[in-house]
Amino acid sequence: MAEIRSPRLLFEECRRYTAQLSELRMLLEERLHEARAELARVRDPYDTRVRQARHDVAAIEAALERMDRGLYGTCTRCEAFLPLDRLRLAPHVQQCAACAGEARMSA
Ligand SMILES: [Zn+2]
């Protein structure tokens, strides 16, 4: 039988989720700012730092776009929810550990 939940609890959950999203948005914007500063600082286009910063900017912008579309926080491959700890460490990463090839598959 379906669970009946009080509107107050749902409201609390919604508030917590919104707070987590704005925390992650702040992290993303901070990192975007840093990556753009790196691009402005290092002029040589063949410098590996420039390549890394360009990659970071693209990944962060994609993550912010997913956030605006309400898709942020789920894996782009399998649509599993990404753990908050993972997002706090790398807020631009949009794949779960398994899809990103971080976890070894068991036979
Ligand atoms: Zn996945």
Structural domain total, the chain: 1
Task: Please tell me the distance from the alpha carbon of residue 103 to that of residue 107, in angstroms, as a whole number.
Answer: 12
Per-residue pLDDT at 34? 96
Per-residue pLDDT at 29? 98
Is 64 contained in some domain? yes
Q: pTM of the entire structure?
A: 0.82
Helix (H, G, I), strand (E, B) or coil at 96: coil
Which position has the token pair 């063949």? 46
Q: What is the DSSP string of 27-90?
A: HHHHHHHHHHHHHHH---TTSHHHHHHHHHHHHHHHHHHHHHTT-TTB-TTT-PBPPHHHHHH-
Q: Where are the beta strands (DSSP E) in the chain?
A: none
Is 84 contained in some domain? no
Per-residue pLDDT at 94? 93
Is 1 contained in some domain? no
Structure tokens at 32: 């975007």
Is 67 contained in some domain? yes
Task: Please tell me the distance from the alpha carbon of residue 47 to that of residue 41, in angstroms, as a whole number.
Answer: 11
Is 82 contained in some domain? no
Mean pLDDT of 86-105: 88
Distance from the CA of 96 to the center of ligand 1, in angstroms?
4
Distance from the CA of 64 to the center of ligand 1, in angstroms?
19
Is 105 contained in some domain? no
Is 38 contained in some domain? yes
Q: Is the pLDDT of residue 106 over 60?
A: no
Per-residue pLDDT at 104? 58
Q: Provide the mean pLDDT of the chain.
A: 91
Distance from the CA of 67 to the center of ligand 1, in angstroms?
17
Question: Which residue range forms the structural domain that includes residue 38?
Answer: 7-73
Is 88 contained in some domain? no
Mean pLDDT of 32-55: 93
